[in-house]
Amino acid sequence: MKSEFPAPRIRWILESGEVDARYTVRGWVRTRRGSKNVHFVALNDGSTPAALQVVVPAELPGLEELLPQIATGASLEVDGLLVESPGSGQRVELRAEAVRVLGAADPETYPLQKKGHSFEFLRSIAHLRPRSNSFGAVFRIRSTLAQATHRFFGDRGFNYIQTPIITASDCEGAGAMFEVHTRDPEPFFGRPAMLTVSGQLNAEALAYGLGLVYTFGPTFRAENSNTSRHLSEFWMIEPEMAFHDIHDDMDLAEAYLKALLDAVFERNAADLELLQRFVEPTLIETLSNTRDNVFERITYTEAIEILERSGRAFEFPVSWGADLQSEHERFLTETHFKKPVMVTGYPKGIKAFYMFQNDDDRTVAALDVLVPRIGEIIGGSQREHRLDRLTARLLADGMQLEDYEWYLDLHRYGAVPHAGFGLGFERAVMFCTGMANIRDVIPFPRAPGQAAF
């Protein structure tokens, strides 16, 4: 079915456009080549990685004047007749009957002339890189993942809620927060205020009324870690379920990740092929393997045993009580199990105050989901809903009870077992696109020393 609005885009025309029908297409020139008699323009409009071949006969009225402007990067509107393509590797091509240049692009200065620019260079022109093949594919997949997220949770009765961006509580207790100020020395909010690191605590309050909720919002961390997996501003999806425990949390995490992959396979086949060809040769295999396998479920203690027995010389030593580093996570998921791994039962000393305390008195019902190439993609837990345990833990961590008064109050009335997690959205986009640097899966990355655009 051809939609009336917006006008048909190139993806639709390539797949379903009717031969011998007339269409008007708009897009940007990827390349132009030709001879005396005929010119071939590869036109792309961002709907798919492929370009539509536009055949421009030399005798087209006014062409002589237009031709210098039909250059890489220029935007065109073309009316034409769709015909079978004699051999360009595409089903159809458009025989131009009228060409209008909407916006010229000076070939002397347009930076995206050639194919094969490095991702580092493209990062320095983040305002233009959405027009490149790889970034088109990445941002289309990013959109699919966002829309599939809302479908997944919506279909299961989760309520989409919004939690504050400006907050006074440090959810993760890690102290890596940006403060919010005006130029005025008086605190605007009457107390110190920060950009949130997670919407979880507020989401718990909503789960205690609505049962099932999720957030999808920006989060901020002032960690000074310049890694390929950390941003200062990133997006997180945080479901929270009242009346559910750590096992339900694992079931939800696995079903959600698989639903994301299903959506990408369904909607972005051409994008996946492009990224597999030019970015990550194991991409499709890794994603299919993730979609088709039951995730491994192990405890932290079992993970430590596996790592110790592995005989590997890790950069960071392995010992019970120390956090898993990315090299350990990747060994578990890529080398040992060769599929995603869900790890629970972490030592309480390395996890946040809100996690449910297990009976052994030394572990908490934390959940980290590890996937190949990325390591941790999801962090979550069952929450500590027992007020006495929660209070004791806050005090043991040296936190000020008055800072968490409302959160404690929440568990004073009608507390129930509840659980949730946070999916790092950019890590999910990295996983689904094969991109190796997290700065290349968000349109305008913010990282230490970097807030351009």
Residues making contact with ligand 4AD (CB under 6 A): 171-172, 198, 200, 221, 223, 230-231, 234, 236, 238, 376-381, 420-422, 424, 426-427
Q: How far is the CB of 35 from Mg ion (least distance, A)?
A: 59
C-alpha of 83 from chain center: 38
- By the 10 Å C-beta count (0-12 exposed, 13-18 middle, 19+ buried), 322 is classed as middle
Least distance from ligand 4AD to the Cβ atom of residue 172, Å: 5
Do strands 341-347 and 363-371 pair parallel, antiparallel, or not at all (unpaired)? antiparallel
Listing DSSP states for 128-139 in one string gives TGGGSHHHHHHH
- Write the CB contacts of 331 (distance below 8 Å, at least 6 apart in sequence): 307, 310, 312, 314
Contact 233, 322 (CB under 8 A): no
The Cα-based distances of 304 to 152, 324, 373 in angstroms read: 33, 9, 20
Nearest residue by C-beta to Mg ion?
A: 379
Q: Which does 172 bind (CB under 5 to 8 A by kind): Mg ion, ligand 4AD, none?
A: ligand 4AD
How far is 278 from 134, CA to CA, in rounded Å? 8
What is the dihedral sign for C-alpha 224, 230, 235, 241?
Answer: negative
**Minimum separation from the CB atom of position 330 to Mg ion (A):** 15
Residue 8 binds which entry of ligand 4AD, Mg ion, none, with Cβ cut-offs from 5 to 8 Å by kind?
none
Work out which of 136, 379, 417, 434 binds Mg ion, going by CB under 5 A.
379
Closest CB to ligand 4AD among residues 139, 214: 214
| C-beta closer to ligand 4AD: residue 44 or 219 | 219
Give φ, ψ of 145 to 5 degrees. Answer: -65, -40
Minimum gap (Å) between residue 379 Cβ and Mg ion: 3
The entry of ligand 4AD, Mg ion, none that residue 440 binds, CB within 5 to 8 Å by partner kind: none
CB of 223 or CB of 248, closer to ligand 4AD: 223
Stretch that binds Mg ion, among 140-148, 169-177, 208-216, 377-385 (CB under 5 A): 377-385
Q: Out of ligand 4AD, Mg ion, none, which partner does residue 380 contact, by CB within 5 to 8 A per kind?
A: ligand 4AD
Binding residues among 73-132 for Mg ion as defined by CB under 5 A: none
Strands of the sheet with 375-382, listed across from one edge = 159-160, 212-220, 233-242, 418-424, 375-382, 363-371, 341-347, 296-299
State the nearest-atom distance from the C-beta of 423 to ligand 4AD, in Å.
6
96: helix, coil or strand?
Answer: strand
Binding mask 129-148 for Mg ion (x = CB under 5 A): --------------------
The distance of closest approach from Cβ of residue 451 to ligand 4AD in the complex, given in angstroms and rounded to an integer, is 15
**E-state strands within 35-177:** 38-44, 52-57, 75-84, 92-103, 159-160, 166-167
Query: Which spans of this chain sit near Mg ion (rule: CB under 5 A)?
Result: 379
